[in-house]
Structure 1
């Protein structure tokens, strides 16, 4: 059986969410999915605390670094640094619509400067041996999506880029907040499918509004990969089925097993001075839709922020949800016997 590449299923870079703790949690659920950092600007990489910005646990592999910037020389140097830190891919953000990003001339506003994007990508690709990739929108504001998307991709392809992650929505740079830009502009999946059909030599990964593995499997009939965003964050348990369903490899991992795998990491981070809440905040949706999920969230949220909180908080929350599930099972058995 052909071993599918990591980009077949990936978890999107999400600001304030996909930090190193989140990525380790996601790795406890899927050993195969490609994980992405939050976007890091070139200025931060070149001048900031690199351990804080770029450090990650080896268990996270395969993991990609997403950069934000528009100066080819700075991007090339940041990419070299990222490769030296051990990242498996360097990705350029051409999709974030926030005001802060626009003021820095990077993110989605670069959809209006495809020649500059291609120049940036050529510099990155020349600087590193790992894959250099682009994450973009289908267009911004009044652009014709077919022209803006295909034009950007073709220019970057001529610069040596072969891997594109496409958020299948426009971004409205004025009038919509970043949150609204994730929901209001309509999705155009068929345009991204057509990009792959007409550029079969390129690797095309689709992103935007994919809410389940069922939907991911549908998209994989048209494109090379699917990137999950909020669905993977708010209901991370779905990643526990990804290796089997998407990659045809391995066993499902439930929330209980994910917690057991995560606790040793939490203990190491606590010893290093990290607060428990910085890690447990990513776990709140782990038992989404299951009996006891509310109690699980309450204990982690209320107890996890207290000074000195340790893994006993996670264990208490886990015991609560386990007890409620055992009670429900017992009631079901009693009802069956009575019938």
Structure 2
């Protein structure tokens, strides 16, 4: 008799090839629509499934986990960030959590540079003029921005993505500085020509561009609060492709409106997915809809990692990308 296949519930539409492979391996429930599951649908999923495959749009909190059926033993997240999952509560219930680390590194780092260029070279303003048909021809003083070469870049969070940003920025001729929970090994610092700052306040006050590349955890919530944002130079630019909760968005908005910052490039937002409405009309702010990891290659690699994690678990082994509270 063949062994019973795992019951797997997928909460969002995934790439066709990923869904097809999941269907081949497991007893899978797939979505017909790309809309996020409702709370009632999530409750039904955790009550029935052996494995839940959520995304960052699903809030897997203690209340939801408390309603899980006895069969739920793995939450195989489609994505690297797990701040939407209560890992501690899952662990206390004997439910493993896995993620997909590493696959979004290069794509997100590309987007950091795109946002830096978008703000410093006033690309959004140029696009708007062209789209409105308002361009009257080249002029020596029109839309003057600034070059990246020679600017000091402060990287907040020097993990995989932070280091990938540093490599790109170095190629642009930028001076690399960083603040991290742990200092990098000396050979990595030397390879990146990176200067370490133990004091985030001291680093922030000296940077021309600040890139946020740390995860959202209780210790990083509003790490860039109103007081710390005030330390930035008025000519500074801030870029965030990590998590919106790291920045006090209301304080950032007030400073941009008051001309106390030169600009911002944002791919993530503190409150929901729309961002502060006042930011949308600012010519020196580039806003994107969480596109940092949005490449076909990245989504496929994320799906492949999910499949490996679930298949390894089904075979009776620990998922290779298991997340434990000590990692957070």
TM-score by shorter chain over 0.5: no
TM value normalised by structure 2: 0.30
Q: Which has the higher contact order (CA 8 A, sep 6+)?
A: 2
